[in-house]
Amino acid sequence: MSETVQLTINDKSYDLPVIKGSENEKAIDISKLRAQTGYITIDTGFKNTGSTTSAITFLDGENGILRYRGYPIEQLAEKANFLEVCYLLIYGNLPTKTEFSSFTNNITNHTLVHEDMRSFLNAYPTKAHPMGILSASLCTLSTFYPESHEQNRSEESVDLTIYRLLAKLPTLAAWAYQNAVGHPVMYPKNKYNYCENFLQMMFAMPAFNYEPEPVIVDALNKLLILHADHEQNCSTSTVRVVGSSQANLYASISAGVSALWGPLHGGANQAVIEMLEKILNDGGGLKKWVEKAKDKEDSFRLMGFGHRVYKNFDPRAKIIKKAADDVLNKLGIVDPVLDIAKELEEVALNDEYFQSRGLYPNVDFYSGIIYRALGIPTEMFTVMFAMGRLPGWIAQWKEMMKDNQPIGRPRQIYTGEKERNYKSIEKR
Ligand code: ACO
């Protein structure tokens, strides 16, 4: 017999069905609650609310487990190629050789961005944040492909939008950076793989040749994989909610980029490095900063610490910490910010405040250190995150469309004024 949970309201009992996941996670199904009882539930920040069932990513925050379509993140980060992971997330299985070659070709052949997009780019102020440019550019792309607005899209047309998004986002991201530094934009080159191509668009110049170093390409590949999906986080939920109104995929992804930008979400990677630099410039004394983070009167938080779902450790942070060490060693870089990061981790992890609240370094605590070592400027860190998260957003949007989910529209409990009558301005 299937499990139910009993809810009693004013002596009347209701049996609510329990939904079980493939890893035995349990949820109380309240989809008929209002119709049956007149009540709704309140859960600001959705801390206890499952917005959907999903077959894409499994995350166990207590035990630090993260799997994409069943594959452990540790194995994928160690052995896979980012485009392989994109295919896995979006289509459900690892690609065969033929599938991978066709997928890669399709992406390689769509990396060019329409020249008219350059007019938009040229109009941004030189100091424009690249996340603002990226979000706006992705939405603008939809105007170049009006067929993406059509309802009842064919599978082929959705696939084409997917190739275009995966192919063009790195081009747009690199252009946003070139715009900020006043350099000429570099065009994609088909001889390079996905990561190499992005790096050459970032760092090549018409005046000299640039060949991406394998150490840097490997590190970038790993970082993109680690960020590729994270189930129903703030930006992914945004993509799903925007997409649930049947808005096109470009617009939905653009909304996801905006949600990611905030410092409590993807913007944390930029905020972490800015914080570590501040601590370093302040003389490196950590105690003062840890005390500030614990002080409820002070708005300062240790950026890169804490996570809504990981309360023991973030498995991605473990992999990234090791990768940061490897990259710095291989490139022969000594970064005092890395030393501050390690000391801060040590101090915070031994502090009762952080221990009792389950606050551990998250994925963004060390990613910025690798990005710095790769020569990527701080303002681009969240853009790098967006590049990694893109396949996850696409997979989640695709799943929601396939499942024909209803429009996302929460309810509320109104706490404002009761009805009152309008008075003309002379009588107020
Ligand atoms: N520094 C100091 N105290 C913190 C921190 C922190 N980084 N994070 C949480 N706390 C404290 C809170 O003040 C609260 O304390 P209280 O119980 O005494 O009131 C308690 O820990 C719980 O914090 P919440 O904000 O309720 O936890 P929530 O799950 O809502 O927030 C979040 C998670 C947003 C990630 C939070 O830990 C935070 O702001 N971290 C810093 C920003 C950051 O690194 N974000 C990146 C997250 S990873 C990602 O999105 C890719």
Sign of CA dihedral 83, 86, 88, 92: negative
DSSP assignment of 324-382 equals: HHHHHHHHT---HHHHHHHHHHHHHHTSHHHHHTT--B-HHHHHHHHHHHTT--GGGHH
Q: Specify the pTM.
A: 0.93
pLDDT under 50: residue ranges of the chain: none
**How far away, in angstroms, is 399 Cα from ligand 1 center?**
29
Minimum CA distance residue for ligand 1 atom 44: 304
With a 6 Å cutoff on the Cβ, whether 342 touches ligand 1 is no
Encoded tokens for 227: 């960020």
Question: What is the per-residue pLDDT across 86-130, written as a single tens digit (0 to 9) for each?
Answer: 999 999 999 999 999 999 999 999 999 999 999 998 899 888 999
**How far away, in angstroms, is 361 Cα from ligand 1 center?**
11
**How far away, in angstroms, is 349 Cα from ligand 1 center?**
14
Active site residues: 307, 364
Cβ contact 255:352 at 8 Å: no
With a 6 Å cutoff on the Cβ, whether 359 touches ligand 1 is yes
Identify the pLDDT of residue 200.
Answer: 95
Q: Report the alpha-carbon distance of residue 27 to residue 2 in Å, rounded.
A: 13
With a 6 Å cutoff on the Cβ, whether 293 touches ligand 1 is yes
Minimum CA distance residue for ligand 1 atom 46: 265
Question: Where in the chain do CATH 2.20.28 domains reside?
Answer: 4-65
| Bridge partners, residue 60, by sequence | 65
**How far away, in angstroms, is 306 Cα from ligand 1 center?**
5
Question: Where in the chain do CATH 1.10.580.10 domains reside?
Answer: 70-215+249-260
The CATH T-level fold of domain 70-215+249-260 is Citrate Synthase; domain 1 (1.10.580)
Minimum CA distance residue for ligand 1 atom 22: 357
* Arithmetic mean of pLDDT over the chain: 94
Question: What is the per-residue pLDDT across 177-219, written as a single tens digit (0 to 9) for each?
Answer: 988 888 889 999 999 999 999 999 999 988 888 899 999 999 9
What residues have CB less than 8 Å from 249, skipping those under 6 apart?
Answer: 148, 158, 161, 162, 165, 243, 394, 397
Minimum CA distance residue for ligand 1 atom 8: 306
Identify the pLDDT of residue 126.
Answer: 84
Sign of CA dihedral 299, 303, 309, 311: negative
Identify the pLDDT of residue 284.
Answer: 64
- Would you say domain 4-65 falls under CATH 3.30.460? no
Give the CA distances from residue 314 to residues 288, 318, 322, in Å, rounded to whole numbers and listed in that order. 25, 7, 13
